[in-house]
Structure 1
Amino acid sequence: MISIVQRLSQTVTAAQTLSAFTRPLLKIMIEVTELESAYLTTVDEARGVQNVLYSLNTSQMNIPEGLEVPWSDTLCKRALEEGQTFTNNVQECWGDSDAARALDIQTYVSTPVRFGSGQLYGTLCATSRTSQSISGEAEDVLRLFSKIIAGFVEREQLVRSLQRANEELASLAMLDALTGLPNRRCVTEELNRVIVHCCRSREWVLVGFIDLDDFKQINDQFGHEAGDSLMRILAEQLRVSMRGCDMLARFGGDEFVMVGIGPQLQEDGDAVLEDLKSRLFSASIACVELSDGSKIDYAGASVGMVCLMPDSTDVDDALQKADAAMYKVKASRKQLEVVAT
């Protein structure tokens, strides 16, 4: 028993995966039970199936990995329901099992693998084609192994759950909660990446600043819920108006930033710039009907675009220049309003 404990200690310390953790245990099970096959199964009670996850076969008995059988037909289900973990006469005890008959199982021992909550994960089994007896110590080993396998699986599931949660948190940290667009942090990182890329590829850096003019008045007149609704609609319209390689982000409040890659430096970037500017302005016009029957007619945003040499700009400089271009457009629009008045 000392050697089993030592080997178990080595397995627990070294194993990084369930496979690496389980296979040495199956070998020990073969040794202590002196049966032909040892295997770990999973049980999906909702689907009504049992699957052989890992197995070790040492003689004529062959329990193949990946074998899937109806849970209702298994020896494991009968053993659990009847509280009988061992028999060396399967035909007499459970002769109605098609799976046992097909595999020619005569001696069978198993123990359930349950999580701390009591949920059934699967079973840990050993079988043989001949009638054999096993010691009480061997059954104790199976019960011990089932507990430590359950603990390992729970730990793996917890680690995966934490990893998924961290990935989701990281994703959320890069997204604007209202619009689902990338946020300021995300777009500044993207802009830095674009500048580095364009330095290597010798392409223009395109940056746009979009300001939703008079958006505060919409919130004041129609309420913040209506304003949020309009914000989401405009964000989606702006997003779909751009090229697939561009990024649109909500920069904060009523401002959006667009980042993209222009043509080669030896080519004229202004044509692409003006096209994007026109498309973004058109996408910033919206008419939204509210639940009370009122309507918001939004006349469009101020859109400023710049086309920059990658070698002579950085993130702060690019954003400042795009912001300045937007304010020129905003001032021009206000001047036109004054003239029209």
Structure 2
Amino acid sequence: MSEGIEKLAEQVSDASNLEELTQPILDVLQRVTHLESTYVTTIHEHEGVQRILYSRNSGDLQIPEGLQVPWSDTLCKRALNEKRFLTTDVPSVWGDSEAAAALGLKTYLSNPIYTDEGELFGTLCGASANTIDVSDAALEVLALFSRMIGHQASREQLAREATARATAAETRASDMQFVAEIGALCLSGEEPDQVLRAVSQSFKSRRAWQYAAPFQLPEVSPISVGQAVDGIDASHLTTPELLAAEDVPMLPLLIETLNMARFKEGYAPTFLSPKHSGAELRAVAKRSGIGDECELFVLTLAHGTDLMGGVLLISQPGGLDDTEKTMVQSCWQTLTLFAEREVEHEMLEVANAQLTLHARHDPLTGLPNRRYLVEEMHRMLSHAARAGEVVYVAFIDLDGFKKINDQHGHDVGDDFLEAMAHCLKKAARTGDLTARYGGDEFVMVAVNDEPVSEQAQQAIAVRIEQAMSGVLKLPTLTLDYPGPSVGVVSWQGDTIPDADELIAQADKAMYGVKQARRAERS
């Protein structure tokens, strides 16, 4: 069993998707429960169906992956409604179930899987044609596995949503060769002005447009109140900077177009026609040599709600057809895609970092877990062997923790463990490694370049004992804790020892200290 759990821990830490996480879970669950079949389902309530996503079958009972059944009368739905998550006599409890009768089920195990948002994702189940006595410990493992699968499903859903947004924009861009070209320019460009110049050149090659003027909005270049450009009041705007000298005559038209877009659409890209947009725009367009029959569009480059720049597009007389307008809208979406990708990339990195953190750290205390401890100890021992340093391993057992837990409840017990972890971290020095080994046991590893000595071992033990004893102010009560039992061992040499062996030696030393403390109290 322990070998299966250790193997599962390794596979979970390496799992990159739901299937890689689920398959070893089903294997371990089968060993824990002794059921013939273990499987994960997804529930689609809006479709009224339940599907077998992954399954593991070891006997005559076969529950195939991909099987789809109506959700309305499944055993899982009955178990969920009745909160009966373990049934060892299916014929007596659910004798009217045709599916159960057809499979000859006697033992049925089901636990709901919820996403991090609390939505029902599916179930983690086990079944057998025999009567199997499933232990309470196995049920706890089942619940833990359900939460793990729910967390992974949530992470993948976030990843799919982020990917879907990027894919949707990319799909729209790929519908037209020109949009793909604009996308390539955006992806290859390093600076906004470089991208905007390249995009404007691409639009100039299209016969539908007579002008494509790239511009930027400098971060600090406000127009003074009351100042006007060619008669256009722009006191509320930052002065746009046209990137091509030949486009400077278009500055008044750009400002007026931005002015109208700002108040009408909040800078969202919109097509404007001088003929249908009022006297001011018609007058500015006329002074700029643009006729009433043209259409204007500001292809904006934005990050969040900040307008960074864009390209002022002016169509040929006669306006634009719907296909060209759709293409322009797609180009605008492509122009902002690189910013969206950056944000989504950061989101994915955060999600991956959290997955790694959870796999290597204790969720309650935040300390490295047992797996991480052993890995890091191997690195520290290797370095110490090369450098001739001494490695000290302290094993800490929180005496009296069970009594605290039983007397005050698990919430106080958790608060106590968190407080002890904090005290241990305070006792550690730069370069020391602290970890939660399991339950009420902790480990600290320290490296010293001074000769090994009993005094150094004792000093480490005293430092830890003093840091982890005394009055503790927990959120709901105050405890006067007499301190833990601490055993310390040391190692120095050329041959790197096994980390688990050193920990076991420290554990043995701790046990000796614990026995001595008990003798003193008696």
Above 0.5 in TM-score?
yes
Which residue in the other structure is 1:287 paired with?
Answer: 471
Q: 8 Å contact 1:182–1:249 — kept in the other structure?
A: yes
1:311 aligned residue (467, 487, 494): 494
Match of 1:206 among 376, 379, 392: 392
Q: CA deviation at 1:318?
A: 1.5
After superposition, residues 1-341 of structure 1 pair within 5 angstroms as 5-6=176-177, 8-9=179-180, 12=183, 19=190, 22=195, 24-32=198-206, 33-35=209-211, 37-38=213-214, 57-61=243-247, 74=259, 76-78=261-263, 80=265, 84-85=271-272, 92-93=280-281, 109-111=297-299, 125-127=310-312, 133=316, 136=320, 141-264=327-450, 267-288=451-472, 296-312=479-495, 313-338=497-522
- How far the C-alpha of 1:291 sits from its partner, in A, is 7.7
Residue identity matched to 1:299: P
Tell whether the 8 Å contact from 2:386 to 2:494 is kept in structure 1 after alignment.
Answer: no
Whichever residue aligns with residue 77 of structure 1, its letter is R
2:397 and 2:510 in contact (8 A); partners too: yes
- Is the Cα–Cα contact under 8 Å of residues 195 and 314 in structure 1 kept in the other structure? no
- 1:242–1:276: 8 Å Cα contact kept in structure 2? no
Q: Deviations over 1:310-331 (max 9, x none)?
A: 5331212221111111112112
Structure 1 residues 323 and 136: CA distance shift in structure 2, 3 A: same
Task: Give 1:302 shift.
Answer: 0.7
Conserved? CA contact 1:25–1:145, under 8 Å: no
Contact 1:195 1:310 in 2 (8 A): no
Give a deviation string over 1:186-237, Cα, whole Å, max 9, x none.
2222211211211222211121100011211121122222222222222211
Paired residue for 1:99?
Answer: none
**Residue-by-residue CA offset, 1:16-50 (whole Å, 9 max, x unaligned):** 56748955434313433443632588xxxxxxx99
- For residues 390 and 211 of structure 2, the distance between their equivalents in structure 1, rounded to whole angstroms, comes to 72
Q: Report the TM-score, using the length of structure 1 for normalisation.
A: 0.71
Task: Give the conservation status (yes or no) of the 8 Å contact 1:36–1:127.
Answer: yes
TM-score in terms of structure 2 length = 0.48
In structure 2, the CA distance between the partners of 1:289 and 1:258, relative to structure 1 (3 Å rule), is closer
Please give the alpha-carbon distance, in whole angstroms, between the structure 2 residues aligned to 1:106 and 1:224. Answer: 79
Shift of 1:175: 2.3
From the superposition, tell whether residues 191 and 305 of structure 1 become closer, same or farther in structure 2 (CA, over 3 Å): same
Amino acid at match of 1:127: L
Q: Structure 1: which amino acid aligns with 2:371?
A: R
Distance 1:274 1:183 in 2: 25
Distance 1:222 1:80 in 2: 60
Q: Which amino acid aligns with 2:416?
A: L
**CA apart distance, 1:252:** 0.8
Contact persistence 1:205–1:260 (CA under 8 A):
yes
Contact 2:487-2:508 within 8 A present in 1 as well: yes
Gaps of 5+ in 2: 1-174, 218-235, 249-257, 291-295
* Structure-2 separation of matches of 1:164 and 1:326: 39
In the TM superposition, what is the alpha-carbon distance from 1:254 to its structure 2 partner? 0.4
Q: CA deviation at 1:60?
A: 4.1
Kept in 1: contact 2:389–2:447 (CA 8 A): yes
CA separation of 1:40/1:58 partners in 2, compared to 1, >3 Å: closer, same or farther? closer
Residues 59 and 15 (structure 1), Cα distance of their counterparts in 2 relative to 1, 3 Å cut: closer
Counterpart amino acid of residue 272 in structure 1: A
Unpaired segments of 5 or more residues in structure 1?
42-48, 63-72, 97-103
* Residue 187 to residue 16, structure 1, CA distance change in 2 (3 Å): farther
Shift of 1:271: 3.6
Bigger relative contact order, structure 1 or 2, given CA contacts below 8 A and separation 6+?
1
Partners of 1:192 and 1:95 lie apart in 2 by 78
Name the CA shift for 1:206/1:27 in 2 (closer, same or farther; >3 Å). Answer: farther
Distance in 2, Cα, partners of 1:87 & 1:275: 84
Structure 2 residue aligned with 1:70: none
Which amino acid counterpart does residue 404 of structure 2 have in structure 1?
A: I
Alpha-carbon RMSD: 4.4
Q: Secondary structure at the match of 1:230?
A: helix
Displacement of 1:297 in angstroms is 2.5
- SS of the residue 1:297 aligns to: strand
Residue number in structure 1 paired with 2:170: none
Aligned-partner SS, 2:465: helix
Distance in structure 2 (CA, Å) of the matches to 1:206 and 1:105: 81
Question: Aligned partners of 1:278 and 1:105: how far apart in 2?
Answer: 84
Q: Distance in 2 between matches of 1:297 and 1:164?
A: 40
From the superposition, tell whether residues 125 and 215 of structure 1 become closer, same or farther in structure 2 (CA, over 3 Å): closer
CA contact (8 A) 2:416 2:474 kept: no
Q: Output the CA distance in 1 between the equivalents of 2:312 and 2:414.
A: 65
Paired residue secondary structure (1:194): helix
Measure, in 2, the Cα distance between the counterparts of 1:146 and 1:271: 71
Q: 1:16 to 1:199 in 2, by over 3 A?
A: farther
The answer on whether the counterparts of 1:113 and 1:147 sit within 8 Å (CA) in structure 2 is: no
